[in-house]
Amino acid sequence: MPDEVWFAFALTLFAGLSTGVGSLIAFFTSTTNTRFLSWAMGFSAGVMIYVSFAEIFPESLEILVDATGEVAGNWLTVIGFFGGMILIALIDKIVPDIGNPHEVKKVEDMEESPQKARAKHPELLKMGTFTALAIAIHNFPEGIATFTAAVQDPTLGVAIAVAVAIHNIPEGIAVSVPIYYATGSRIKALTYSFLSGLAEPLGAVVAFLILMPFLNDILFGIVFASVAGIMVFISLDSLIPAAKAYNREHSSIYGFVLGMAVMAVSLLLLM
């Protein structure tokens, strides 16, 4: 396989396994740095939204216009963009409410002993399992998006992988807290958290096996436009609300603006 494909796989693995980082943070710190998480998630949203509109969408449009003509190319780009949004919205509809991966969790939620927690909330194991499953389902299209972007442009792939990795850290906390409560085992909580992240590289494998053999300019342009739609939806539906929930001050918007600025400067330096 070409080096860029291996690199793309490595990026998706890095992004996916960052859910385990959330578990490690939960287990080795006594309090949640909500200001930092708010800033970091805002930063991630800024990167995703800026790169979607300033780089991915225009590149998809250029590819599709060259391949199909101006009118068809514009239509296909828009269809691909909103198709990506619809895909991730449908996934949200499928995911059970009990396993909502966007629910904010904090390290402080584990102050109570697992025995007391189980007595008060006997459904914790089910909640943790569904949360892990929900995050895995969400991570699958994110893996396709990261892999596709990295194959086309490794630098762009790095930016998306970092943004997705930041996004996955609090999701790791959301898995580990109820699993730890339910089982009393940090190892099990950490394992569930890591496994939920493996859907990210699994999405990359599916993209490689199913999409790559048929990847002509038209299909690639549509997939690339869908990647932009997926990332914008994740930012608006998940990252920004969670960033605001972690910290009600201005940390999230400062992070958001900085994320856009860093992405803008990076793209300018690579021109």
Residues forming the annotated binding site for Fe(2+)?
139, 142, 168, 171, 200
Residue positions forming the annotated binding site: 139, 142, 167-168, 171, 200
Residue positions forming the annotated binding site for Zn(2+): 142, 167, 171
Cβ partners under 8 Å of residue 111, min gap 6: none
Count Cα atoms within 13 angstroms, Cβ side, for 122. Answer: 1
Token output for 119: 């007595």
- Ranges of H-type helices in the chain: 3-28, 34-51, 57-68, 70-94, 114-120, 124-152, 154-183, 186-197, 199-206, 217-234, 240-246, 251-269
User: DSSP class of residue 248?
Assistant: S
- For residue 140, give Cα distances in angstroms to 24, 31, 70, 136, 154: 22, 30, 32, 6, 20
For residue 3, the Cα-to-chain-centroid distance in whole angstroms is 24
Q: How far apart are CA 112 and CA 250, in angstroms?
A: 31
